[in-house]
Amino acid sequence: MHTRRTHRRTRIGGTRIRATFLAAALLATACSAGGASTSAGPAAQAAGATEPATASLAPLPKATPAELSPYYEQKLGWRDCGVPGFQCATMKAPLDYAQPADGDVRLAVARKKATGPGKRLGSLLVNPGGPGGSAVSYLQQYAGIGYPEKIRAQYDMVAVDPRGVARSEPVECLDGRQMDAYTRTDVTPDDEDETDELVDAFKEFAEGCGADSPKLLRHVSTVEAARDMDVLRAVLGDDKLTYVGASYGTLLGATYAGLFPDRAGRLVLDGAMDPSLPARRLNLEQTAGFETAFQSFAKDCVRRADCPLGDKNATPAEVGRNLKAFFGDLDAKPIPTGDADGRKLTESLATTGVIAAMYDEGAWQQLRKSLTSATKENDGAGLLALSDSYYEREADGGYSNLMFANAAVNCLDLPAAFSSPDEVRDALPDFEKASPVFGEGLAWASLNCTYWPVRASGEPHRIEAAGATPIVVVGTTRDPATPYRWAEALAAQLSSGRLLTYEGDGHTAYGRGSTCIDSAIDTYLLRGTAPEDGKRCS
């Protein structure tokens, strides 16, 4: 992210990590929440806002406008994907829903048909989050084979890469060499020179995105992606949308419900976001979420014989100070990694590696091992591998477009968190209070959208979706990327929201091993029976 990332699963040294990239969580990339033009005015004024929005997202007319009928009535040409059991197709959507005649955007769609036996219930659309996560890859690599058999038996499992993402006319910004430099950028500047270097990095990133996709960049908002989902619903022949979205995918799903409450079917929003928050508060609350997750990791770490950050008597605060001191050492002198491209472990890369491991407690062992290697053996390879997984850096030095799409959507959806470095400096005490370990870096990372080449088209808003059937909102109490308070807030906003709570660690809850959570969601998807509002699981 930083704020808005994905529920993708990546293996690192045998550890499976779920990473959900939200707009404020990508510290080293600074793909944090918010977006704005560089000019003063409404965007700059909104940047200082701290209170949640009171305006609600208005639903669209029930009748499909005549000019959109060709999109809603199109036929998909399904073909073999090259992945056994999956079919792929390309769907057209208007680049600009307000001006459909201005051209199309082509979206990649994939499905795995229901396996039976039993009555087919329609299509189940899945989205792993991001923004920027490939839903098609998620379907092919996990959901289409890893979702419960009884779900896959009765639903066609379907995914669409949102506009600007992966196979759907991807936004591109920097090449691999440039991204390597960008991810190493110091996001805890010590003086004016380092501040200028950070600002220059943000500007170069933004200019690269603007040069590659000047027209598309204005039309990758969450609202437009949600409207694309309604076109897909119709093309698939479903009267209502059935959907499971994780992390940023919850914002997509909630936005769909707000725009089309009468077409919202069984929606599961896991690891929920609060759409009413302005960018600065969104980032600040997520910063506190990462601190909550780190405290949990620290308590676990000191009980282990291999904890490199403190003995069994160390407090979480002491563990945090030890980690912060290690980051400071790297800021002064990066350490070797054995990387074929000669990359060293910098403070920013190490911090990203630690953040990556906060998404799933299953990665904590790998994090302890990597920190031990770095602090005791001067070997940064393990933390670099964690960081590379977070950025989706490939073995050949290339990158997926995850980070590019992440920034493109976030910077269009909300006015920027800050309008200048001076505003970041003024906010540092609040961010460092929220997280002594990560606060400084996450505050500076929130400056990236200030230099975005197009103006933000969205604003914070509530989503009520009046008239929708029950919508299940899932929150994890120690979720690092989508704080539990966000799930409470979204469930309260939705007129038919049902809050389902997982008391535990990690990002998102469905499929994490809680029989209670999984059973409640499976029952809802198969029978339409939503869990009782306020149900808690562990």
In tens digits, the chain (538 residues) has pLDDT values of 333 333 332 222 222 233 333 322 332 233 333 332 222 233 333 334 578 888 999 999 999 999 999 999 999 999 999 999 999 999 999 999 999 999 999 999 999 999 988 889 999 999 999 999 999 999 999 999 999 999 999 999 999 999 999 999 999 999 999 999 999 999 999 999 999 999 999 999 999 999 977 899 999 999 999 999 999 999 999 999 999 999 999 999 999 999 999 999 999 999 999 999 999 999 999 999 999 999 999 999 999 999 999 999 999 999 999 999 999 999 999 999 999 999 999 999 999 999 999 999 999 999 999 999 999 999 999 999 999 999 999 999 999 999 999 999 999 999 999 999 999 999 999 999 999 999 999 999 999 999 999 999 999 999 999 999 999 999 999 999 999 999 999 999 999 999 999 999 999 999 999 999 999 999 999 999 999 999 999 9
Range of the domain at 358: 3-49+173-212+278-451
Cα angle value 225/228/233 (rounded, 5°): 130
Residue 480, Cβ neighbours under 10 Å: how many? Answer: 29
Known active-site residue 479: yes
Tell me whether residue 2 is one of the annotated catalytic residues. no
Clarify whether residues 152 and 270 are in a common domain: yes
| Per-residue model confidence (pLDDT) at position 400 | 97
- 224 inside domain: yes
Whether residues 235 and 370 share a domain: the answer is no
- Do residue 365 and residue 264 come from a single domain? no
Kindly report the length of the chain. Answer: 538
- Residue 476 and residue 392 share a domain: no
Strands (E), 85-185: 87-94, 104-112, 122-127, 155-160
For residue 35, the model assigns a pLDDT of 30
- Judge whether 96 counts as a catalytic residue: no
Q: Which residues of 194-221 are buried (b: 16+ CB within 10 A; e: fewer)?
A: bbeebbebbbbbbebbbeebeebbbbbb
Q: Name the domain count of the chain.
A: 2
Catalytic one of 2, 7, 461, 507 = 507
Q: What is the pLDDT of residue 28?
A: 28
Among 417, 451, 485, where does a domain finish?
Answer: 451
Are residues 395 and 489 located together in one domain of the fold? no
Residues 354, 424, single domain; the answer is yes
The reply to whether 199 and 235 lie within a common domain is no
Pair (371, 290) in one structural domain: yes
Residue 270: in which H helix or E strand, if any?
strand 264-270
114, part of any domain: yes
| 268 and 127 share one domain | yes
Task: Tell me which residue of 225, 105, 230, 124 sits closest to 168, measured CA to CA.
Answer: 105
Is the domain of 396 the same as that of 327?
Answer: yes
Query: What tokens appear for 151 in the block?
Result: 């779900």
Q: What is the pLDDT of residue 117?
A: 87
Where does a domain end: 451, 485, 500? 451
Residue 85, in any domain of the structure:
yes
426, part of any domain: yes
Is residue 61 situated within a structural domain?
A: no
Tell which of 427, 451, 475 closes a domain.
451
Question: So what's the pLDDT on residue 118?
Answer: 81
Q: Tell me, yes or no, whether 314 lies in a domain.
A: yes
In DSSP terms, 536 is beta-bridged to 501
User: Is residue 456 a part of any domain in this protein?
Assistant: no
| CA distances in angstroms from 464 to 14, 131, 275, 380, 431, listed in the order given | 42, 22, 11, 47, 30
In-domain check, residue 477: yes
DSSP 272: -
Task: Identify the burial level of 277 via C-beta atoms within 10 angstroms of its C-beta, where 0-12 means exposed, 13-18 middle and 19 or more buried.
Answer: buried
Residues 163 and 190 in one domain: no
Catalytic residue among 123, 247, 296, 373: 247
Do 398 and 446 lie in one domain? The reply is yes
Q: What is the CATH number of the domain that holds 112?
A: 3.40.50.1820
Q: Which of 479, 496, 505, 514 is catalytic?
A: 479
Give whole-number Cα distances, 401 to 134, 171, 173, 192, 394, in Å.
9, 7, 8, 31, 11
